[in-house]
Structure 1
Amino acid sequence: MIRVVLVDDQALVREGLRALLERTDDIVVAGEADGGDAGVRVVTETRPDVVLMDIRMPGTDGIAATRRIIGDPALSHVHVVVLTTFDTDDNVLDAIRAGAVGFLVKDTAPGDLRNAIRTVAGGDAMLSPTVTRRVMQAAARGAGARDTGQLDGLTNREREILAEVGLGLSNEGIGSKLFISPATVRTHVTRILTKLGARDRAGLVAIAFRTGLVTPEDR
């Protein structure tokens, strides 16, 4: 079972999410919280696989709470998915820097939400097309001169895979496109993360666009 904690200051949102998620045989809601501080406490107590985290909450917001969760070595297995309206690009980039690996807007279809939780629990990042596009545009605007030298340590195959990660493809999608196995893709992604000093796949998306390896026009 994939254990999920819901963190949102609106009770109605939490109730709706719980109802959607518990219609499956492989996902269970392990706890809820109505704010960032409470969310960190519940996550620490329940040790879930995935946290659905709202950004804008009174007091400690979702970005600060995500940073605290990701920064706790005892919670290294926990994956945070930010579920928000993403009103500004800063929210997206701040969430990436905090360590979130999933980004979904609140009007995401129920089936897509459940699949996103499965994807993140399996170790992949999950970015909705809208969020990916915002990351691309913000990275492109803030890039200035392209720092292509950051990619000098990558092989041609690793650059190829990084570009596909930048476009939001999963390991399975990359493997199908490049005619290699998902396990091989995962190995390459792990090496790329190490070489580039990135925390996760979401960080690789930002690097792919900051270096000009992928541009917004490639979507």
Structure 2
Amino acid sequence: MELKVRAGHQGTGPGPITPDGCAVELYSRLPAGPEPDIIEAAVPAGATVLELGSGTGRMTHPLLDRGFTVTAVDESPDMLEGVAGARTICSPIEELDLGETFDVVLLASFLVHTADIDVRRGLLRACVRHLAEGGCVLIQREGEEYHTDVPRERRDPHGFTVRITSSEPIGDGVHAVHAAYVFPDATWTQSFRTRPLTRQQFEEALCGTGLKVDRYLTEDRTWVRAVHADRGPTG
């Protein structure tokens, strides 16, 4: 499968770089953070999980350790080489059609903010296509200050620094973002395009593909539990 180079996406640093600017070695080093705990608290124990955009397994492996059955999907074969213990599928997310459904569909890493509206619609439709009756989609959103609190940096307890150096509007509601990941022995940079979404715009995007917000899982509303639009509230 030949991967499409995405306009405005590029990366630098050691090792393979995917067409969307992601460095494989970098993603293999990044810690899972609190995300697996957030996911575990929002879904039934032992659920089947379809992880869309798994990368090298940053969240895949902790979810496996927690007893979930995970199918990891990524369009980069280099990324999927780092995934162990899960079924892996190499495919663009928006083209995925496995003919089966899952208790949980996971769309993390701010993928819902893709600059291309048609691609975003395709991502969400893929979520709906693979969602079991009574299941849920867990989506990670950008924080409300993601594009205004710049430049900024965060020192991770694992010994590296993440810098968001700029976020510049380039027209049609799209921003060009530049980031750097500085480790003691290596530095990676990534430039990418993203479409900021207000809470209302995000919820309207879900409704347009047959989903609705069930509840926000974190105080900053960056993690969301969505369900089929015709399903009643879960409480």
TM-score bin (small chain) = 0.3 to 0.5
TM-score after normalising by structure 2: 0.35
More helix by share: 1
More strand by share: 2
TM-score after normalising by structure 1: 0.37
